[in-house]
Amino acid sequence: MLGLDALQLALNESETVSNTLTSSLAEVLKRRLSGESVARIIGHREFYGLDFGLNAATLEPRPDTELLIDLALDVLPEGGRLLDMGTGTGCIPIALLVNRPDAGAVATDLNMEALAQAGDNARRHGVERRLTLLLGDWFGALGSEERFDLILSNPPYIESAVVETLAAEVKDFDPLLALDGGPDGLAPYRVIAAGAGDWLRDGGRVMVEIGFDQGEAVSALFAAAGFEAISVHKDLAGLDRVVSAHHLKGAKAS
């Protein structure tokens, strides 16, 4: 707000702050006290070492999701194509494209404002020519016959009844569309497991972020859809965080 970095702040600590600035600061403090996060107030948040702009339609990127990037970087082939569904700020495909200049991506979301923010973030990080943004409901957003090496998603996965019980910082400020995964929190995974096989190349993989207690249920959905080599990966806190599944030749999603 003052436009000063830490050093300038220390050097100018005896300067008087104007009344206008004092009242803006009071306004910001009021927002913070109501539960709004610092990232929402300043309008951006760091993810995978990159800065992402936020708007009211986007989830704040979380450090938990960085595991998905690490795993994806390990398996994405040279010149690979990836699909990210429910992209929000675009943090997943943009972090991958910045780290893999050979790769290309498609990202979808049901919310137009979220896609606009993802577009801004893609330009901010110089990957806009390698990222196609599409509006629509999960696979319904895709129009072409393209097939992907990797399908990623951090879908909404909170049970509907639990959303209201979340901390104010989340339930009052993160968009409901980014949180609510239906009555059992698994609705988006059912759609992704049923459809992913039709959009993957043989040998391709799907990787989804999950809630800490959803590993078994989400693995079972991918197994039922014909995926193989299904594994659950833990985050740095030791909690189940990502399910990955392999689409082997001839595998058919049911």
**Is the Cβ–Cβ distance between 170 and 179 less than 8 Å?**
yes
Examine residue 178 and tell whether it contacts ligand SAM (CB under 6 A).
Answer: yes
Examine residue 159 and tell whether it contacts ligand SAM (CB under 6 A).
Answer: no
Q: Among 71, 81, 94, 109, which residue interacts with ligand SAM (rule: CB under 6 A)?
A: 109
**Is the Cβ–Cβ distance between 105 and 99 less than 8 Å?**
no
Q: Is 159 helix (H, G, I), strand (E, B) or coil?
A: coil
Q: Nearer to ligand SAM by C-beta: 141 or 245?
A: 141
Each residue 84-103 as x (binds ligand SAM by CB under 6 A) or -, in order, gives -xxxxx-xx-----------
Q: Nearer to ligand SAM by C-beta: 87 or 219?
A: 87
Q: Among 156, 185, 204, 215, which residue interacts with ligand SAM (rule: CB under 6 A)?
A: 156
Examine residue 210 and tell whether it contacts ligand SAM (CB under 6 A).
Answer: no
Q: Nearer to ligand SAM by C-beta: 82 or 178?
A: 178
Q: What is the largest CA-CA distance in the chain?
A: 71
Output Rg (C-alpha) for the chain, integer angstroms. Answer: 20
Question: Which of 64, 60, 131 lies closest to 89, judged by CA?
Answer: 60
Report the 10 Å Cβ neighbour count for 21: 13
Q: Is 39 helix (H, G, I), strand (E, B) or coil?
A: helix
Q: Among 83, 97, 108, 142, which residue interacts with ligand SAM (rule: CB under 6 A)?
A: 108
Q: Among 37, 40, 54, 65, which residue interacts with ligand SAM (rule: CB under 6 A)?
A: 65
CA distances (Å), origin 156, targets 59, 69, 96, 110, 144? 10, 18, 21, 12, 25
Q: What residue ranges bind ligand SAM (CB under 6 A)? A: 59, 61, 65, 85-89, 91-92, 108-111, 114, 137-138, 154-156, 177-178
